[in-house]
Amino acid sequence: MYSSAISKNSLFGPLGPTGPIGRTGATGATGTTGATGNTGPYGKYVISAIGVTTGIILTFSDGTTSGVTANLKGVTGYGNTETPESVGEGISIVGSSSEGQLNIKGISAIGSLAITVDDSNLKIDTIYKTTVGNLYSLGLSADTLMYLKGSNLASSTRVKLDGTGNMNFQNQFFLNDSAYIKQVGPVKKNQYVGITGALENFTIGTTGGIYIDLENGGLYLVKTPIGIAGFTGSFRRNEILNATLIIESDEIWKFPENVYFSENENYFTCGKSIVNIFTFDAGNNWYATVSQRGLDVEFLNACKSSFGKGSCCYTKYPENTKNCVEYVTKDECQLLSGEFTALSSCSQTCAQGGICCSNGQCLADVDVEECTFFGGRFYSTINCSSSYPNNPAGPNYGYPIEAGRLCFDACETEKLACCKDGNCIGDDLSRIQCELILGGKSFTGGDCSTINCCENNIGTGACCVCNNSAGKSVECKDDLTKSQCTKYAKSINPAYTGIFMGEGERCENLNCDCSCANIPPEDPNVPCCKTDGSCVDVPRSQCISLGGIPGQAGDVCSDT
């Protein structure tokens, strides 16, 4: 039996041709970014260019060179031939000029003065704070140059101005009867006078020599006989003060022990001697130069050769004892068969009891004369065993100090320098000699010719901490050495600068803003990432000039 209904099973005929492609659907979401590949090598690039007469030579990073040949030149320049003119009143600061170049006269300040610039004004200021001053009426004279007699006291010189810029020195610098010279003496031995030489109306007297007052003058006629115990006045550390002494003869029965002459120059003659003395440590030590001897002697052969008065060390027989006599001439000492030292006391030349340092050895029971004869250095009132540490087999510079030797041994190769008050007082002193006996500071690695004792000063004073970029003071701190001042400023901020204002200076007297005004900003070392991937520690400005990327001040390459 058959049915005509369609079967439920599908029947497929042959496939027809493919139809056209439809529209592209919407883009899906972006997937995760893959890892960055390795940086490729740097290409060759130009590192320098040098101009030559025929063109330019280029040097590349791989060391090769190439050239460009051409006739290269710029536009012809123009030379300014105008004459510069200084406007306004006062002294011109314009110097020479030629072919467009103008030279300006410079101005600088040292010591207690400072130069600052404010807009178009140039200011001369002081590092000290402003104070109300007074006038020294006894020393004032009309139409003369003024000066500061003290920090708050003004006086005037004898230099007159006539209103047209001419100066009249009033003959004060000529050595004759009308010259303006301060006279001192004469003072006989054991004569009772004022401590500065006054013969009457004095409250404090002395018979042991006078103190020459250097407060109100610079030129002194010293009448003899005289005994000079020292010099007095308002002296400051780190400021040089000098005076000239015209000493009438060699009749000097006392002379200061802290005055130092060049070797074999500590003597005067029967004629006038001109002596210049100066100090830079507030009068603790004076340094003398004899510029002339035997002035005003009509017949030079009549002036008996003399080394002035001094001390004489001699041996008294038959007792065979050491003796010393002062205020004698060299001839008088020779009659005693003694050792004469000009302008020195017995305590300096004939001290009994002490030690002699010679060739690294400490010798006891040796007198000054014997020690000096063998080229040693004599120290009175101490001994080799108990006064100071002494390890005879130790080095010149012991660390700790007790491990070193007392007497300097010249055979050691390590160089030393002994600094005191900013000066090198010897490079043949052990650390014990320098620091414990003489009160200095011993440094290794050099001698007096190479160690900068000013930079290694151990004296304390005021320290101005400066913010260089702002040109202002951050603070002032007392009682620091120069090196401590630098370290203290850096401990606050590596970009700050510490200015040591001098030994003995106090913050209460100083104007640190004035001292900090013109300090340029520092260029500290920073880690610098160079274009070749390496890192070097160089100043920030140098890093930028190399095309590198500078890091932070205070960091180093090992930290980056």
- Residue 305's pLDDT band (cuts 50, 70, 90): very low
- Residue 362's pLDDT band (cuts 50, 70, 90): confident
Whole-number Cα distances in Å, 42 to 45, 62, 97, 112: 8, 10, 50, 57
Amino acid at 140: L
Kindly state the helix (H) or strand (E) to which residue 537 belongs, with its residue range: strand 535-539
- Residue 476's pLDDT band (cuts 50, 70, 90): very high
Q: Which of 329-333, 404-408, 456-460 has the lowest mean pLDDT?
A: 456-460
Q: Which of 52-61, 172-181, 182-191, 440-449 has the lowest mean pLDDT?
A: 172-181
What does residue 559 show for φ and ψ, rounded to 5 degrees? -90, -15
Whole-number Cα distances in Å, 437 to 387, 414, 416: 10, 21, 16
DSSP 56: E
Rounded percentage of the chain residues whose pLDDT exceeds 90: 2
Quote the mean pLDDT of the chain: 76
Place of tokens 């901020």: 493
End-to-end CA separation in angstroms for the chain: 98
pLDDT of residue 464: 93
Between residues 429 and 238, the one the model is more confident about: 429
Angle (CA) 59-61-67 rounded to 5° is 20
Take residue 288 and report the two structure tokens written for it: 């003398």
Take residue 226 and report the two structure tokens written for it: 């005289």
Check if the beta carbon of residue 189 is closer than 8 Å to that of residue 179: no
Instruction: Give yes or no for residue 409 having a pLDDT over 50.
Output: yes
Rounded percentage of the chain residues whose pLDDT exceeds 70: 76
Signed CA dihedral, 202, 208, 209, 211: sign only: negative
Between residues 485 and 547, the one the model is more confident about: 485
Mean pLDDT of 95-115: 70
Check if the beta carbon of residue 314 is closer than 8 Å to that of residue 308: no
DSSP 315: E
CA 58 to centroid of chain Cα atoms: 47
Instruction: Give yes or no for residue 306 having a pLDDT over 60.
Output: no
Take residue 536 and report the two structure tokens written for it: 């070097």
Residues 37-92: tens digit of each pLDDT: 777 777 777 777 777 666 777 777 777 877 777 666 666 655 555 667 777 666 67
Mean pLDDT of 103-131: 73
Paired strand residues for 275: 245, 290
- Cα–Cα distance for residue pair 507/501, rounded to 1 Å: 9
- Residue 124's pLDDT band (cuts 50, 70, 90): confident
Instruction: Give yes or no for residue 425 having a pLDDT over 70.
Output: yes
Amino acid at 414: E
- Cα–Cα distance for residue pair 467/53, rounded to 1 Å: 49
pLDDT of residue 178: 34
Q: Please choose, from the candidates 144, 212, 137, the residue with its C-alpha nearest in 3D space to the C-alpha of residue 172.
A: 144
pLDDT of residue 477: 92
Q: How many CB atoms lie within 10 A of CB 538?
A: 20
Listed in sequence order, the residues at least 6 apart from 38 whose beta carbon sits closer than 8 Å to its beta carbon are none
Q: Which of 5-14, 179-188, 514-523 has the lowest mean pLDDT?
A: 5-14
Residues 128-165: tens digit of each pLDDT: 777 677 776 666 777 777 777 666 777 777 677 666 66
Take residue 53 and report the two structure tokens written for it: 């007469």
- Cα–Cα distance for residue pair 165/142, rounded to 1 Å: 15
The string over 174-211, giving b where at least 16 C-beta atoms fall within 10 Å of a residue's C-beta and e elsewhere, is eeeeeeebeebbbbeeeeebbbebeeeeeeeebeebbb
pLDDT of residue 466: 92
Mean pLDDT of 402-417: 88
